[in-house]
Amino acid sequence: MGWINALAIYFIIWWTALFAILPIGIRSQRDEGEMILGTEHGAPVNFSFWRKAFWTTVVSTLVFAAYYFVTEVLGIGIDSFPNFIPDRL
């Protein structure tokens, strides 16, 4: 795997992890009972993008490391799946 392919795969994993991590631990204005006029009641009260970006980077690095280990070290890829099932049962 070249570095451009690795960067592209990491980018996709990072954005997928971001959207999975964004709703974790978020408390809305409705949950806290602190309604601010002119805002949506479902808007978060305290939101730290940098904390979410940090945890997204940690999770995506672990997922990418697992992907790299399976594909590059173990040599398992998409073409390996037909070989898991024997021809004759």
Give 23-82 pLDDT, tens digit per residue. 888 888 887 787 878 888 888 888 889 999 999 999 999 999 999 999 888 888 777 777
Structure tokens at 76: 């398992």
pTM: 0.75
Contacts of 53 (CB under 8 A, 6+ apart): 18
How many Å apart are CA 62 and CA 4, to the nearest integer?
19
How many Å apart are CA 81 and CA 73, to the nearest integer?
16
- 3-state helix vs strand vs coil in the chain, percent to 5: 60, 0, 35
